[in-house]
Amino acid sequence: MTMTPDARESDRTRAVRNLENEFGELIHLVRRVLAENAERMSPGMLPGAYKIFTTIVRRESVTLSALAESLVADKGLVSRTVRDLEALGFITRTPDPDDGRSSLISPTERGLERLAIARAPQESSLLAVLDEWPVDDIDRLSLLLHSLRTGQRPS
């Protein structure tokens, strides 16, 4: 049985809507996890501060301008949050060797230790959920999500 173009399109629309629904549920879960991790990192920490800190960790060393740009966030808000993270001892600033007017922001050992503690419950949950998955499926899902995020066709 050959499908008409309209039937194929409705199948695609249905599939995309199902994907959108799953993303909505996943986003809700991620928001909850970020809030819980932020609270474990430092009681009262907001999820946005946690996101800024994890971005610093991922980048290893970053200027305030580059951090704000990568987060598509207001530089003033990022600057205030960075000051708060510095006061908590989670980050440090060093002079930027490429620009004497700027500083490089990096995580401290204390910040990395707190992050490991904050992430531990979810990391073990994700490992448990994926325990029965073949590694090839996990790698494929990562590739597909990357392709979707970057707008590229998966290979």
pLDDT tens-place string over residues 27-63: 998 899 999 999 999 999 999 999 999 999 999 999 9
Looking at residue 97, its amino acid is P
Residue-level pLDDT at 50: 97
pLDDT tens digits for range 131-145 = 999 999 999 999 998
Cα separation, 71 vs 82, whole angstroms: 13
State which fold the 5-150 domain adopts. Arc Repressor Mutant, subunit A (1.10.10)
For residue 72, name the pLDDT band (cuts at 50, 70, 90): very high
pLDDT at 3 over 70: no
Residue-level pLDDT at 101: 84
For residue 125, name the pLDDT band (cuts at 50, 70, 90): confident
Find the helix packing angle between 109-129 and 5-41, rounded to 10°.
Answer: 140
By three-state DSSP, how is residue 99 classified? strand
Q: Which residue has the tokens 């971005």?
A: 55
The residue among 73, 83, 70 whose CA lies nearest residue 48 is: 73
Residue-level pLDDT at 129: 86
Q: Give Cβ neighbours of residue 151 (< 8 Å, ≥ 6 apart).
A: none
Mean pLDDT over the full length of the chain: 91
Cα separation, 140 vs 155, whole angstroms: 10
**Residue extents of the structural domains in the chain:** 5-150
Q: Are 108 and 91 in contact (CB under 8 A)?
A: yes
Residue-level pLDDT at 8: 65
Most confident listed range (16-20, 88-92, 116-120, 125-129): 88-92
For residue 100, name the pLDDT band (cuts at 50, 70, 90): confident
For residue 5, name the pLDDT band (cuts at 50, 70, 90): low
For the chain, what is the total number of helices (H) and then of strands (E)? 6, 3
Residue-level pLDDT at 44: 95
Residue-level pLDDT at 4: 67
